[in-house]
Amino acid sequence: MLRRIATVSTLAAFAFAGSVTAAEYGTPAEAKAMLEKAVAAVKGDKAGALAMFAKGEGGFKDRDLYPYCGGPDGNFTAHPTLLGKSLKELKDKAGKPLGEDVYAAAKDGVISEVSYMWPRPGQADPVAKVVYVTRIGDQVCAVGYYK
């Protein structure tokens, strides 16, 4: 009986540890909700919203979730580290034309998905990532989550 209790306790500990790890990263639903919030912010005050996105302010940075945007010239108008660099020319870690795919998928009033390979923040090995992307006027904005 004591051995069974120890086994159940060990399994419960592993289940709890797994849920803590899962909470470490954003979910698909949280990524989509952040993009919807970003859309509303850009529609309300584009310049202010882009500044908040780049700084991770106003609730626009949650663990590994953050919005990024690119302008009509193809350059990032909001990103924590790539501001001013080319989004349109960006390739994922497997060589896929990520930026071109993001721009091609972006449509006004529609949220689309683009998949690619990218390392998690602070890590080197690329993993599968999915971004939800949309167009808001002259901005292409996205929020991604890691699978």
Tokens matching residue 22: 């899962």
Domain ranges of the chain: 26-146
pLDDT in the model for residue 22: 53
* Whole-structure pTM value: 0.83
Q: What's 26-146's CATH class?
A: alpha beta
pLDDT of residue 2: 45
SS (H, E, C) the chain: CHHHHHHHHHHHHHHHHHHHHHHCCCCHHHHHHHHHHHHHHHHHCHHHHHHHHHHCCCCCCECCECEEEECCCCEEEECCCCCCCECCCCCCCCCCCHHHHHHHHCEECECEEEEEEEECCCCCCEEEEEEEEEEECCEEEEEEEEC
Mark the ranges of the chain whose per-residue pLDDT is less than 50: 2-20
Which residues have a Cβ under 8 Å from the Cβ of 19 and sit 6 or more positions away?
Answer: none
